[in-house]
Amino acid sequence: MSEDSYALLDAKLKRIHALNSISGLIGWDELVNLPEGSADQRQEQCATMAQVCHAASVDPEIDTLLSKLEAHASELDDSQKIVIKEARKSYDRSAKLPAEFVSRKARLDSESYHAWVDAKKNANFSSYAPFLQRQLEHSKEFAGYLGASDNPYDCFIDLHDPGMDTASISKLFDELKTGLAPIVSQIFDSKIQANTEIFKGFPIAEQSNFLKQITTALGFNYKRGRIDTSIHPFCGGNGADTRMTTRFDEDNPLDSLFSAIHETGHGMYEQGLPLDQLHNALGQAAGLGAHESQSRLWENQVCRSRAFWKCYEPELRKQFPKQLDGVSSDALYLAINSVSKNPIRVDSDEVTYNLHIVIRFEIEKRLFDGNLSIDELPETWNALYKELLNIDPKDDAQGVLQDVHWSDGSFGYFPSYCLGNMLAAQLWYAALEELPDLERNFEKGDFSHLLSWLREKVHLHGMRYDLKALALEATGQELSPQSLLRYLKERYLPLYS
Amino acid sequence: MSEDSYALLDAKLKRIHALNSISGLIGWDELVNLPEGSADQRQEQCATMAQVCHAASVDPEIDTLLSKLEAHASELDDSQKIVIKEARKSYDRSAKLPAEFVSRKARLDSESYHAWVDAKKNANFSSYAPFLQRQLEHSKEFAGYLGASDNPYDCFIDLHDPGMDTASISKLFDELKTGLAPIVSQIFDSKIQANTEIFKGFPIAEQSNFLKQITTALGFNYKRGRIDTSIHPFCGGNGADTRMTTRFDEDNPLDSLFSAIHETGHGMYEQGLPLDQLHNALGQAAGLGAHESQSRLWENQVCRSRAFWKCYEPELRKQFPKQLDGVSSDALYLAINSVSKNPIRVDSDEVTYNLHIVIRFEIEKRLFDGNLSIDELPETWNALYKELLNIDPKDDAQGVLQDVHWSDGSFGYFPSYCLGNMLAAQLWYAALEELPDLERNFEKGDFSHLLSWLREKVHLHGMRYDLKALALEATGQELSPQSLLRYLKERYLPLYS
């Protein structure tokens, strides 16, 4: 009986996946292709598609099939058990939310987003505060429907990184914060400063060629994917058809390049998931932290390394001879690895980035446990920036209003970025241990050994392991900030002393 | 009561339209963006979406609402009556087909398409004949479900051009054939020959700039549309978001330009339909012939005219000075209006094109009325080409196998192209009568008067008028080939004598 029920469930999941992938495609098209005047029809299309996807995901037959399969768990193999566990989680997340709540939340998201845009433009937190307050209340209500009234923030963390919770992250981040302080101090106290003014007048067409050459060499499969241009770089689609984007600025070629490399890391993870299981947990990413570990590993450990630039500096100079005339190799490498005091998270370097996240986690935690009110947010934000980064944001636009995430209630998302950085460094040293020639391969433009290793250790497993289990399985060690701290010291202290 | 029912029906039609527009978008993406290796997922997506669209279109509540409204027709205004009449036609076309037939037909279409591709590659009609036979039988079965067993070909003509039938088209085409014969003879007998070899080495980027400049000047609204590249040019989407394509060849700049202009004609029709009614008959095109009248009018009457090139020849020479060095204005204009004996419909000029269509209509008519068997098709094809165009196709690939249409049973489609040419010419002279300065405006690059006239006479009416009624309303004259014959004589005889 279980076999039949499993096949029926599988067909349902396939249909949901197909519908979601269509929603994804029209979302991609909106950000990449949509004519400026056509937003009205796209809104209709998105709303209709959301409704079709929702109806498919709360199909009561799924509940019946899951219940049958759960009652006969002993007949299932391990893979099937994972599929069923995650399908149950997804089903409940969709089905337990009252329709009235879903539409109320959608309205709030839209209003709240526009309030955030206005507030940021005017650097006026108070106009946005009531929306943020409502988002916080809605988030608690959401957690309540999922039976998590007692620990709503845990519920949101689990949404992004299954298996993680507030306590685990607190412990990891405290250790990270302590370890980062002396590194950041040493760099900030250093007299050495990168000159990023050298990157002026790099024509877009050549930038595009250069980054396509690199992302192809890294291993992105352009036969099942493409790269386009959008205002904010992202990676959409899935391994069957991976759509990533970057953006171009003639005076900032590193932005387009490293955005493309970052998204390539995401894309290669998607492309490494088992293609015949994309519709279920075996073919889906282990979480946002795991996803971020892939983008960051390629972006930072690999493509900001001396070995990588030994290979690509000559190519860069060939494509942009005039622009780089008179720029030494050391100056170039320092500019690529520039660290600076920046109040804006998305513009910050990989050293200070982690502290931007620690601050956001600290704030979210306090908001959820009642130790911080929305009104106190700007003050607390500024105090934490002063304490951890010695930065005084000039206004709230540069401070608490800088990120879009909270405007649609995406609490519990920020930690993923930093968890990804930790796992990336941990994977890096584990790979290096097993494949000591890695950096010599990079010098020759060969990244295949690392990609194969990641395929085997991370990609192929889908959601089989959660973040903690994945760290342990892939690296033999518990998830910890120590590899990240080691890596940052090894990479940055020599540059800044 | 009717008002309520009408509002409910309207909401259903809106949803169907949104779903169909999503299907359209993923179809566009498939032809424009899809990575070569991602066809498998796209097939899944298309199949899932087709099923969702079908389910929405056969929703029995639509039948109930339509029946209620039909029973209270006296309470409806004229616009509502049109909406209901066409919604009934669409509903019946979807709902009257048994699911078994729909899936059998879909399988046949797929097999038959591949059989056609193979047959064309090998110039081997006999391998394709059994599929064509089955398509013909399925078409008769289809007509039977719609209550048209006695006149199946009429049923297919009406699918493409509501209001038209075999007898009307026969009469129009006979008159056209008779009138065309001496024009074609005179051109074929002329010693004057265009030199199309002058178009070599036109860089794509400049071609693209040039055609964007022209299509913008014609009036395509790029704020609600875009142009991309695909193997076969087409115009998809709708007036809310119009997606047209062209294709580029460095040695054939007229192909990309006139393809873009042709699709611009289609696109401007879509963009001229009432935006708030796109989901019902008031905001949808009057048929394929009407659609083709718009693409052909802009492509031929407008953009192959002396007046148009008086404006754009200097621009063309500015963009391609070296390539056009030594080419006289007259040689250029003749090359743009070249007529030649070509066995391939899609490569033929606007004079002989019509005879290619007359041949196909003649064949379809005989296939449906039983006066021609599939086996006799190649022979009849070649005989008709000999008779009407004095062409001997060198094999069946160049003959009866050249078009894709019959492979998916699209009978009754070909006549639309020629009906469109007739209406285009008829509209042209009617516009010229009312706006005698039209060509002087073209010389100054101003096409707005013609576009406004078409908006008012054609676009704004949606399906309010069928093809015949539209001709009469817009031009004051019955649909007839006489304007087309007049136009071809005026345009081509001076060039070729």
Mean pLDDT in residue range A320-349: 95
Contact present, B180 and B486 (Cβ < 8 Å): no
Is B225–A35 a contact, with Cβ atoms under 8 angstroms apart? Answer: yes
Q: How many domains does chain A have?
A: 2
Task: In whole angstroms, give the CA distance from residue A322 to residue A198.
Answer: 11
What's the mean pLDDT in B382-411? Answer: 96
Which of A21, A33, A52 shows the shortest C-beta gap to B45? A21
Looking at residue B99, its pLDDT comes to 87
Chain B residues inside the 8 Å CB shell of A37: 221, 223-224
B55 to chain A: which residues are within 8 Å by CB? Answer: none
3-state helix, strand and coil shares in percent for chain B, rounded to the nearest 5: 70, 5, 30
pLDDT digits (tens, 9 = 90+) for A119-160: 999 999 999 999 999 999 999 999 999 999 999 999 999 999
The answer to whether A175 and A481 are in contact (CB under 8 A) is yes
Say if residue B85 is in the same domain as residue B107.
no
Q: How far is CA B7 from CA B23, B65, B83, in A?
A: 24, 10, 12
Q: Do B34 and A223 touch (CB under 8 A)?
A: no
- Neighbour count for residue A400 (Cβ, 10 Å): 26
Integer angstrom CA distances of residue B316 from B56, B194, B313, B322, B327: 49, 18, 5, 11, 12
B121 and B64 part of one domain: no
Range of the domain at A143: 101-497
pLDDT at A3: 79
A10, A167, A333 from A254: Cα distances, Å: 43, 37, 12
How far is B416 from chain A, CA to nearest CA, in Å?
A: 29
pLDDT tens, position by position, B306-340: 999 999 999 999 999 999 999 999 999 999 999 99
> Both A40 and A166 in a single domain?
no
Q: What is the pLDDT of residue B31?
A: 94
Question: Which of A14, A29, A240 minimises the CB distance to B38?
Answer: A240
Task: Answer yes or no: do B240 and A22 touch at CB < 8 A.
Answer: no
Looking at chain B, which residue has its C-alpha nearest residue A36?
B223
Phi, psi of B149 (to 5 degrees): -60, -30
| CB-based contact A45 B18, cutoff 8 Å | yes
Residue A460 confidence (pLDDT): 98
Identity (one letter) of the amino acid at A314?
P
DSSP string, B122-146: TT-HHHHHHHHHHHHHHHHHHHHHT
Mean pLDDT of B7-28: 97
When scoring A33, A226, A243 by the number of chain B Cβ atoms within 10 A, the one with the most, hence best to mutate, is: A33
| pLDDT at position A2 | 75
Q: Residues of chain B whose C-beta is under 8 A from some C-beta in A?
A: 14-15, 18-19, 21-22, 25-26, 29, 33-38, 40-42, 44-45, 47-49, 52, 221-226, 238, 240-241
How confident is the model over A295-326, as pLDDT tens digits?
A: 999 999 999 999 999 999 999 999 999 999 99
* Domain final position from B95, B128, B147: B95
Q: Binning pLDDT at 50, 70 and 90, where does residue A4 land?
A: very high
Closest residue in chain B to residue A22, using alpha carbons only: B45
**Both B83 and B187 in a single domain?**
no
In A198-240, where do the E strands start and end? 225-229, 235-238
A241–B38: do the CB atoms touch at under 8 Å?
yes
B364/chain A closest Cα distance in angstroms: 38
Task: Please give the average per-residue pLDDT across B108-136, as a whole number.
Answer: 96
Q: Beta strands of A247-379 (E only): which ranges?
A: none
Joined together, the tokens standing for residue B212 give: 């964007």
Structure tokens, B402 = 């050249």
Contact residues, chain A, for B223 at CB < 8 Å: 35-38
Chain A residue with the nearest C-alpha to that of B279: A41
Best residue in B44, B228, B242, B277 for a mutation probing chain A (most A CBs within 10 Å): B44
For residue A1, the model assigns a pLDDT of 59
- Whether residue A487 is predicted with pLDDT greater than 90 in this model: the reply is yes
Which of chain A's residues have a Cβ under 8 Å away from the Cβ of B25? 25-26, 29, 45
CATH of the domain at B331: 1.10.1370.30
Q: If you search the block for the tokens 């994309």, which residue do you land on?
A: A278
Beta-ladder partners of B226:
B243
Same domain, residue pair A360 and A321: yes
A148 in the same domain as A60: no
CA-nearest of A228, A280, A252 to A88 is: A280
Query: Cβ–Cβ of B223/A36 closer than 8 Å?
Result: yes
Residue B1 has a pLDDT of 59
The average confidence (pLDDT) of chain B is 96
pLDDT in tens, A28-49: 999 999 999 999 999 999 999 9
- Final residue before a domain boundary, out of B43, B75, B95: B95
- Starting at the edge strand found earlier in the chain, the sheet holding B235-238 runs B225-229, B241-246, B235-238
A vs B: CB pairs below 8 A: 83
Name the residue in chain B with its Cα closest to that of A28. B29
pLDDT tens digits, one per residue of B266-304: 999 999 999 999 999 999 999 999 999 999 999 999 999
Is B263 one of the catalytic residues? yes
Tell me: do B204 and B220 sit in the same domain. Answer: yes
**Residue B21 with chain A: CB contacts under 8 Å:** 41, 45
8 A C-beta contact, residue B163 and residue B288? no
Look at residues B60, B95, B130 and tell me which one is the last residue of a structural domain. B95
Å between B315 CA and nearest CA of chain A? 26
Render pLDDT for B166-218 as a digit per residue (tens, 0 to 9).
999 999 999 999 999 999 999 999 999 999 899 999 999 999 999 999 999 99
Interatomic CA distance for residues B287 and B478, integer angstroms:
17
Q: What are the DSSP calls for A377-428, one per residue?
A: HHHHHHHHHHHHH----SSSTTTTTS-SGGGGT-TT-HHHHHHHHHHHHHHH
Q: Which residues of A carry out catalysis? A: 263
- Which chain B residues are Cβ-neighbours of A48 within 8 angstroms? 15, 18-19, 22
Q: Are residues B89 and B109 in the same domain?
A: no
Q: Which residue of A has its CA nearest to B271?
A: A38
Asked if residue A156 and residue A242 are part of one domain, the reply reads: yes
Residues A11, A124, single domain; the answer is no
Residue A44 to residue B19, Cβ atoms within 8 A: no
CA distance B49 to B103: 14
Q: Are strands A225-229 and A241-246 parallel, antiparallel or unpaired?
A: parallel
Euclidean distance between CA atoms A367 and A373, whole angstroms? 6
Residue B2 banded pLDDT, cuts 50, 70, 90: confident
A122 and A50, same structural domain?
no
Q: What percentage of residues in chain A have a pLDDT greater than 70?
A: 100
A75, containing H or E segment: none
A315 and A184 inside one domain: yes
Q: Average pLDDT, stretch B253-273?
A: 97
Catalytic residue among B86, B263, B270, B350: B263
Interface predicted TM-score (ipTM) of this complex, two decimals:
0.93
Mean pLDDT of A185-201: 93
**Residue A99 predicted with pLDDT over 90:** no
Which residue is closest to A52 within chain B, CA to CA?
Answer: B52
Tell me the two tokens of residue A19. 């519908």
The two tokens of residue A158 are 């689990």
- pLDDT tens by residue, A441-479: 999 999 999 999 999 999 999 999 999 999 999 999 999
**Banded pLDDT at B3 (limits 50, 70, 90):** confident
